[in-house]
Amino acid sequence: MIEDKNQQRTDLGQIGEFGLIDHLAKNFEIKQSSTIKGIGDDAAVLDFKGDKVVVSTDFLVEGVHFDLSYMPLKHLGYKSVMVNLSDIYAMNAQASQVTVSIAVSNRFPLEAIEELYAGIQTACNIYDVDLVGGDTTSSTSGLVISVTAIGHVDKDNEVYRSGAKPNDLLVVTGDLGAAYLGLQVLEREKEVFKVNPQNQPDLDQYTYLVERQLKPEARKDIVKLLKDLDVKPTSMIDISDGLSSEILHICKNSDVGCDLYETKIPLDPQVISTCEEFNIDSTTIALNGGEDYELLMTISQEDFPKIKANPNLTVIGYITEKNAGAHLVTRADQKIELQAQGWKSFKSTED
């Protein structure tokens, strides 16, 4: 974890809104040739030379989507960009610009906002996207961040949720459930800390889980991989709310059913051991835990030879006719209807 070592506290009121924008924006360089005009005018100007443009936006609200008692601001900045880039990659598009809007109360000093923007900048550098604008306003309570990501896709390469066909393979990237477990570990440590602040958290055996929660990575590499393999998925979605909920989105939008095999769901060894320790079922975590930011896609059977040897892609089931329904085939070879429990920010138990 990156700690905020900066002890200085410059009052935001002291530098004013425009001073703050200038201060935050000055470190960002333009990298994309599609960015004609970035920060500093009434609007950004972009030129995609005939490519289709994809746009996606998300809110992150303190107390609903993040808890600053264990989320360092630098990580929050990074994650707020990732969450949005993930949506662009889920369209099989390349991300090229973001705008970042913040509503911030005066309980945050300038140094805190600098930390947030340091994380945003790291994300922009690693993922090669330009920060081209945003808005800055005050808030009476917590911190609110809204990121809009802009991307582009050439020819007819965009992939929707709606193209899955019966017999297509259901394929997932990476592994699932770790981010949710990371949150459980952090919540547990927070409770321990409340009781005894002397207690330093021991997170050694949960490093992967905590990293997946605090520093998720969007799968830019997969868009490139699919291009290199010459595979265009028939449908795709990013996994922000849990596998179950995302599969059902594809089924609904594509008018199909599916069989998902429990034994095929990719899990990291730390997910398996921590589920044993917490006495929870790893399949439930993979199906319903959120924030993995992996990609779920369907691929035509004829493309199977192209993907079968790839360690990034796991076939977890296949698409069926709509009237067959959406099912999980368990280890015991039983068929259970898939339910979207998901990761709903409006669920009262979740906040």
Ligand-binding annotation for 291, yes or no, is yes
Both tokens of 135, joined, read 């808005």
Ligand-binding annotation for 268, yes or no, is no
Beta bridge pairs of residue 147: 58, 100
- Nearer to ligand ADP (CB atom), residue 42 or residue 228: 42
**Contact of 297 with 236, CB cutoff 8 Å:** yes
Q: Over the range 36-69, which residues count as b (16 or more CB within 10 Å of their CB) and which as e?
A: eebbeeeebebebeebeebebebebbbeebbeee
Site for ligand ADP in 109-168 (CB under 6 A): 131, 133-136
Cβ contacts of residue 159 below 8 Å, gap of 6+?
A: 90, 91, 92, 232, 233, 234, 235, 236, 297
Task: Residue 148: name the closest of 92, 96, 72 by CA.
Answer: 96
Smallest gap from Cβ 22 to ligand ADP, in A, equals 8
Measure the CA–CA gap between 81 and 124, rounded to whole angstroms.
8
Ligand-binding annotation for 117, yes or no, is yes
- Nearer to ligand ADP (CB atom), residue 144 or residue 239: 144
Given candidates 2, 21, 192, 203, which one binds ligand ADP under the rule CB under 6 A? 21
- Nearer to Mg ion (CB atom), residue 12 or residue 313: 12
Ligand-binding annotation for 162, yes or no, is no
* 177, 218, 235, 309, 340 from 90: Cα distances, Å: 19, 9, 9, 22, 20
Closest-by-Cβ residue to ligand ADP is 133
Measure the CA–CA gap between 259 and 6, rounded to whole angstroms.
52
Q: Which residues bind Mg ion (CB under 5 A)?
A: 135
Under the binding rule (CB under 6 A), the answer on residue 100 touching ligand ADP is yes
Smallest gap from Cβ 17 to Mg ion, in A, equals 8
Q: Which stretch binds ligand ADP (CB under 6 A): 38-46, 153-161, 196-204, 333-341?
A: 38-46
Given candidates 60, 83, 102, 153, which one binds ligand ADP under the rule CB under 6 A? 102
- Nearer to Mg ion (CB atom), residue 41 or residue 337: 41
Ligand-binding annotation for 65, yes or no, is yes
Q: Which amino acid belongs to residue 177?
A: G
Query: What letter would DSSP give residue 323?
Result: G
Smallest gap from Cβ 135 to Mg ion, in A, equals 4
Under the binding rule (CB under 6 A), the answer on residue 42 touching ligand ADP is yes
Smallest gap from Cβ 115 to ligand ADP, in A, equals 14
**How many residues touch ligand ADP (CB under 6 A)?**
15
Ligand-binding annotation for 9, yes or no, is no
Site for ligand ADP in 279-308 (CB under 6 A): none
Given candidates 2, 15, 23, 25, which one binds ligand ADP under the rule CB under 6 A? 25
Backbone angles phi, psi at 32, to 5 degrees: -90, 135
Q: Which amino acid belongs to residue 262?
A: E
- Nearer to ligand ADP (CB atom), residue 21 or residue 315: 21
Tell me which of Mg ion, ligand ADP, none is bound by residue 42, counting a contact when its beta carbon lies within the kind-specific cut-off of 5 to 8 angstroms.
Answer: ligand ADP
* 137, 147, 256, 305 from 24: Cα distances, Å: 14, 15, 47, 48
Ligand-binding annotation for 204, yes or no, is no
What are the percentages of helix, strand and coil residues in the chain, rounded to 5? 35, 25, 40
Q: Which stretch binds ligand ADP (CB under 6 A): 35-43, 68-76, 258-266, 332-340?
A: 35-43
Give Dmax over CA atoms of the chain in angstroms. 65
- Nearer to ligand ADP (CB atom), residue 100 or residue 178: 100
Backbone angles phi, psi at 3, to 5 degrees: -90, 150
Given the DSSP bridges, would you call strands 144-153 and 235-239 parallel, antiparallel or unpaired? unpaired
Under the binding rule (CB under 6 A), the answer on residue 15 touching ligand ADP is no
Which positions make up the binding site for substrate? 65, 291, 343
Residues within the annotated binding site? 42, 56-58, 65, 87, 117, 134-135, 161, 238, 240-241, 291, 343
Q: Which residues are at the interface with ligand ADP (CB under 6 A)?
A: 21, 24-25, 39-42, 100-102, 131, 133-136
